[in-house]
Structure 1
Amino acid sequence: MAHGAPSVRELPQRLWPGPSGQGAEGQHLRSSLAAVQALANVIRPCYGPYGLQKLLVTAKGETVFTGYATAILGALQLQHPAARLLREVALGQAEHSGDGVAFVVLLAEALLTQAELLLSAGLPRSQLREAYAAAAAETLDLLPSLAIRSLGPLEDPSGALYSVMNTHTLSQAGHLARMVAQVCWAAKELDGTFHRERVGVCVLQGGQLEDSCLLPGLAVPGKPCGQVTVVLRGARVAVFACPFGLPSPNAPATARLSSPTELVQFRRESESLFQRQVEQLANVGVNVVVVCGDVEEKPLAQADKYNIMVIQVKSPRELAGLSEVLGTPVMHHLVAPLEPGKCQRVYGQELREGLAVVFEWDPPATPALSVVLRGPTRAGLREAEQAVYHGIDAFFQLCQDPRLLPGAGATEMALAKMLSDRGTALEGLRGPVLLAFAQALRSLPATLAENAGLAASRVMADVSAAHQAGYFLAGVGVEGMIDVASEEVWDTLGAKAHGIQAVADVVLELVTVDEIVMAKETAPSRQDLNPEEEKAKDRRPWPVEIHM
């Protein structure tokens, strides 16, 4: 540890004389730590804007080229319960803040490593949990003091969004950040509230990323299927998560048909039933139907008869977004909703090779705007889409709390210095635990330096010296130490605080695990095992496996 700060490895001689706790209090943690370290080793090379890419082959055989920790965690098949728990917490961070997934995994791994050293040094496990909880609370109390910027109500947020959206594969991060800032600002309510679902993201393959644009209303990738291709006034929309067609005679809920006559009768009754369903939609005023499924020719003719526009979309995500903005439920059967969704116009919008369907409202009451992403490859569009969602989530966080923290590892280094100063001055239990937290926080900017291809020891020495001199805006850049204020590299306070709290919660759970017990329905009975097999089974460690 830099500048003479005591290392946790010195703790057996420093605080707890006598034999250390190897194999007693620390034994329960080693299995979980090994699983968490294996997971962190997968995520670590992708941390930061200069991280590496991974080529994943998922369980379904799909090949994914990505550097996003969220996508990687979702593709992994994890065996160990500790790794599964950490993944759940990290993905919860993505759901809440849209950012900080790799931060959660790596900081949790570093804190568990320090916890194992403390237990090996003789610290009782019951005291470790209490001390870790106190150190986490102290870290969260210190965090707001590092917020040196706060976005004003009329200030352009694109700089703050760029720091979140800038990834190692996105070539047009600045352009997209400005687009996201513009669309989020336009979708914000007059009272300052912001609803993420009111910003649509429409992905259309073709063109270049710089061809991406903004559209008024909510744009979804889809196509009108019948003769009615536009509704120019008074659109009433029903959303269905089912095909637009007749019931299949092979459906599980249908009785088996034993003769051609019964099959013909079934088709006639189905056509009659579907005609009544379409008529019912028209009677309640529905003139636009959105379906996620197949659209058959004969039912489509019935819709044309009643001047109903039928739109086919491919993803349930588009249905969910439309349902939220239009204020109508997603129906799983072709039954008219109690309250159809309302907008002014629905029409198809051709964008070079792509086609989108736009749901538009009259200004100034437009409740939705859309970012239309263009790109030549699915992999590039997937990265751009993920970055846009990160930017939308970051804008939402800034609406809740406009304070910004220094990015590029500067906040972690500043917290580590403050905790080290306090830990060095304290006697007893609190001091070593604060030093352990400081050491764990320092591992994050060190990883940034390694992923940027720098000599991590030299860069960390420069950044540590700057922080020791009182300059807490020193961070890690592509060429070494940078001034994060001049480089405009920021983190949102809300996302960072939530991430630290999530890490503290999962670490406190894992350090108190005594034993991992798994009940298997297909486990062989003990009488089927000979004594040697039983002994081998008892000695078998919990599998630490990660499969793509």
Structure 2
Amino acid sequence: MAAQPIFILREGSKRTHGSDAQHNNIMAAKAVAEAVRTTLGPKGMDKMLVDSMGDVVITNDGATILKEMDIEHPGAKMIVEVAKTQDAEVGDGTTTAAVLAGEFLTKAEELLESGVHPTLIASGYRLAATQAAKILDTVTISASPEDTETLEKIAGTAITGKGAEAHKAHLSRLAVHAVKSVVEKSEDGKITVDIEDVKTEKRPGGSIKDSEIIEGVIVDKERVHTAMPEVVKDAKVLLLSVPIELKKTETKAEIKITTPDQMQLFLDQEEAMLKEIVDKVIRTGANVVFCQKGIDDLAQYYLTKAGIFAMRRVKKSDMDKLSRATGARVITNLDEIEEADIGYAGLVEEKDVTGSRMTFVTGCKDSKTTSILLRGGTEHVVDGLERALEDALRVVGVALEDQKIVVGGGSPEVELALRLKEYAATLKGREQLAVMKFAESLEVIPQTLAENAGLDPIDMLVEMRSQHEKGNKRAGLNVYTGKIEDMFENNVVEPLRIKTQAINAATEAAIMILRIDDVIASSGGARAGPGGMPGGEMPEDMM
């Protein structure tokens, strides 16, 4: 009898295995890394991303580009995850992490073609990553939290290349001031920084140099009634997460009214109930009310009559910041308000900012919340500024927490490449080859910096290696002069965590992709037919 073929996969499912699966995944990951490579460094180019709705984003931020690219290939998605992790952990260095992951895979592919097993490559890469962390410790510089100048240099490095160089000094000062104002110290002296405590509000119009820091909270809302006071000094702040309006019945209800008198009685009763709710608010003694829900038109009239500044539909994130700034508690029941629930602000003021009204809450006691008002010529400029400032805030926070920095300009990567090659010579077995390739991969960063600046990458790399061999561990590429210089003197510094996180995340992603030798793509949804295998839907062009 002829052997009958056994089908274990659903009809239409695709399976790629062995070297084909590895090659496909590596190709996809390399393509993603190549897409962001031209954005690396101060002279990197920008990408214009247009989504399905026609909205335009212009940026050279690696994480933003990869997030907006809407990537489908599962192998490529792993590189996107590297950038996302880097962004969440440090805030900057996303392009570096993606480019490194792509280069690790490029070099690994060379080893695979030479007959080195993926497990041995993975083992060698892990050894190299561990050794890299030790080598990086030898080139770190201590940064004191009191050293504002160095912190401003760190912020400036993060902002460089993101379209705001002309106002880099001003934005760096804003970032450092904002982060320092939300620093919290534990009893053992450990510093923690929650960047969520820094609120960024953007407003097109004016110049970038008009951007300012506000010691307090900016709420992008205006008073509910124009007759309410515009300015309230010595404000007693009440935060409500309940509406100042009548509740609707939870079940369907029908009220039968047969005479005009009954109608009037119903309206009078409704008004009396609303007045009672407003009276509860007035009795608290608060003269500023921020409400997360709605405020009825009639309630607005009563609040105006009482001289209270009120605002409705305030975002929950803003309510949390107002609570931290003023010391007020967010109230969920109007019948149980105590004096301790009321917060304080020296000044609550509504101002006109380029044609729209915003509310500024300042003069708070022991405020742990700061706001930055960003200005710029157009909406795209302000959006770019916000992304640059976000990176600056995050790296300053990381530098304050770790108090360890390294120089930039490709300097740490060249030092790591040289020392890892020395380390590889001490190893036996095929892992030595993987460590050597790992070392070579790191040189992609200085090479890319040179390429993006229009310089010769080979000449620059040779010169950098020469300087590092002489013991100049801070020698890096100055892309503006095209020379190899001391990066610390050029104020190009960044937190150590940017480098360690980028190398570790890129290594783990590369290892994960290398270890995949079988890709099974289901033809339908998650539920397969009899004898089939579950799996998500995957487009044809993935394989």
* d(CA) in 2 for partners of 1:112, 1:183: 40
Aligned position for 1:537: none
Aligned position for 2:490: 487
Q: 1:175 aligns with which of 165, 170, 177?
A: 170
**Which amino acid letter does the alignment assign opposite residue 462 of structure 1?**
E
Aligned position for 2:393: 392
Q: 1:359 aligns with which of 354, 358, 361?
A: 361
Deviation, structure 1 residue 415: 0.7
Taking a change above 3 Å as real, the CA distance of residues 313 and 51 of structure 1, as seen in their structure-2 partners, is farther
In the TM superposition, what whole-angstrom CA distance separates every residue of 1:211-248 from its partner, at most 9, and x where no partner exists? 122222222333222214344235233265x9876789
- Find the residue that maps to 1:49 and give its secondary structure: coil
- Find the residue that maps to 1:39 and give its secondary structure: helix
Q: Which moved more, 1:96-105 or 1:62-71?
A: 62-71
**Which amino acid letter does the alignment assign opposite residue 358 of structure 1?**
F
Alpha carbons 1:150, 1:402 under 8 Å: kept: yes
- Find the residue that maps to 2:200 and give its secondary structure: strand
Aligned length: 506
Aligned position for 1:417: 418
* d(CA) in 2 for partners of 1:516, 1:331: 53
**Which amino acid letter does the alignment assign opposite residue 64 of structure 2?**
A
* d(CA) in 2 for partners of 1:264, 1:106: 73
Q: Quick check: 1:118 aligned with 2:120?
A: no
Aligned position for 1:10: none
For residues 142-221 of structure 1, what are the structure 2 equivalents within 5 Å?
Answer: 142-151=135-144, 153-156=146-149, 157-170=151-164, 171-189=166-184, 193-221=192-220
Aligned position for 1:497: 500
| Structure 2 portions without partners, runs of 5+ | 1-15, 531-537
Aligned position for 2:470: 469
- Find the residue that maps to 1:77 and give its secondary structure: coil
For residues 3-82 of structure 1, what are the structure 2 equivalents within 5 Å?
Answer: 26-82=19-75
* d(CA) in 2 for partners of 1:386, 1:325: 24
* d(CA) in 2 for partners of 1:291, 1:140: 50
Deviation, structure 1 residue 301: 2.6
Q: Which moved more, 1:465-474 or 1:298-307?
A: 298-307
**Which amino acid letter does the alignment assign opposite residue 94 of structure 1?**
D
* d(CA) in 1 for partners of 2:480, 2:435: 30
Deviation, structure 1 residue 479: 3.1
* d(CA) in 1 for partners of 2:507, 2:268: 63
* d(CA) in 1 for partners of 2:459, 2:376: 39
* d(CA) in 2 for partners of 1:439, 1:260: 85
Alpha carbons 2:58, 2:384 under 8 Å: kept: no
Aligned position for 1:19: none
- Find the residue that maps to 2:435 and give its secondary structure: helix
Taking a change above 3 Å as real, the CA distance of residues 323 and 50 of structure 1, as seen in their structure-2 partners, is farther
- Find the residue that maps to 2:220 and give its secondary structure: strand
Aligned position for 1:12: none
Deviation, structure 1 residue 143: 1.2
* d(CA) in 2 for partners of 1:24, 1:521: 20
- Find the residue that maps to 2:519 and give its secondary structure: coil
Q: Which moved more, 1:516-525 or 1:99-108?
A: 516-525
Deviation, structure 1 residue 275: 5.7
* d(CA) in 2 for partners of 1:311, 1:81: 46
- Find the residue that maps to 1:405 and give its secondary structure: strand
Aligned position for 1:428: 429
TM-score by length of 1: 0.79
Identity %: 23
Aligned position for 1:304: 304
* d(CA) in 2 for partners of 1:196, 1:117: 42
Aligned position for 1:448: 449
* d(CA) in 1 for partners of 2:161, 2:49: 18
* d(CA) in 2 for partners of 1:134, 1:29: 22
TM-score by length of 2: 0.80
Q: Quick check: 1:95 aligned with 2:95?
A: no
Deviation, structure 1 residue 189: 4.5
Taking a change above 3 Å as real, the CA distance of residues 473 and 337 of structure 1, as seen in their structure-2 partners, is farther
* d(CA) in 2 for partners of 1:391, 1:361: 26
For residues 235-274 of structure 1, what are the structure 2 equivalents within 5 Å?
Answer: 235-238=236-239, 240=241, 255=252
Aligned position for 2:13: none
Q: 1:511 aligns with which of 511, 514, 518?
A: 514
Taking a change above 3 Å as real, the CA distance of residues 257 and 195 of structure 1, as seen in their structure-2 partners, is same
Aligned position for 2:378: 377
| Aligned-residue RMSD, C-alpha | 3.8
**Which amino acid letter does the alignment assign opposite residue 104 of structure 1?**
A
Taking a change above 3 Å as real, the CA distance of residues 67 and 281 of structure 1, as seen in their structure-2 partners, is farther
* d(CA) in 1 for partners of 2:210, 2:195: 23
Deviation, structure 1 residue 452: 1.7
In the TM superposition, what whole-angstrom CA distance separates every residue of 1:50-84 from its partner, at most 9, and x where no partner exists? 21112211233311222222322222212122322
Q: Which moved more, 1:420-429 or 1:112-121?
A: 420-429
Deviation, structure 1 residue 416: 0.9
* d(CA) in 1 for partners of 2:353, 2:33: 43
* d(CA) in 1 for partners of 2:266, 2:61: 50
Taking a change above 3 Å as real, the CA distance of residues 523 and 146 of structure 1, as seen in their structure-2 partners, is closer
Aligned position for 1:439: 440
Taking a change above 3 Å as real, the CA distance of residues 459 and 254 of structure 1, as seen in their structure-2 partners, is farther
Taking a change above 3 Å as real, the CA distance of residues 125 and 525 of structure 1, as seen in their structure-2 partners, is closer
Taking a change above 3 Å as real, the CA distance of residues 129 and 487 of structure 1, as seen in their structure-2 partners, is same
Alpha carbons 1:239, 1:323 under 8 Å: kept: no
* d(CA) in 1 for partners of 2:273, 2:521: 51
**Which amino acid letter does the alignment assign opposite residue 359 of structure 1?**
V
Deviation, structure 1 residue 362: 4.4
Deviation, structure 1 residue 179: 2.2
Taking a change above 3 Å as real, the CA distance of residues 275 and 342 of structure 1, as seen in their structure-2 partners, is same
**Which amino acid letter does the alignment assign opposite residue 214 of structure 2?**
L
Alpha carbons 1:236, 1:286 under 8 Å: kept: yes
* d(CA) in 1 for partners of 2:342, 2:108: 54
In the TM superposition, what whole-angstrom CA distance separates every residue of 1:126-174 from its partner, at most 9, and x where no partner exists? 2222222222111112111111343353443212221112224113111
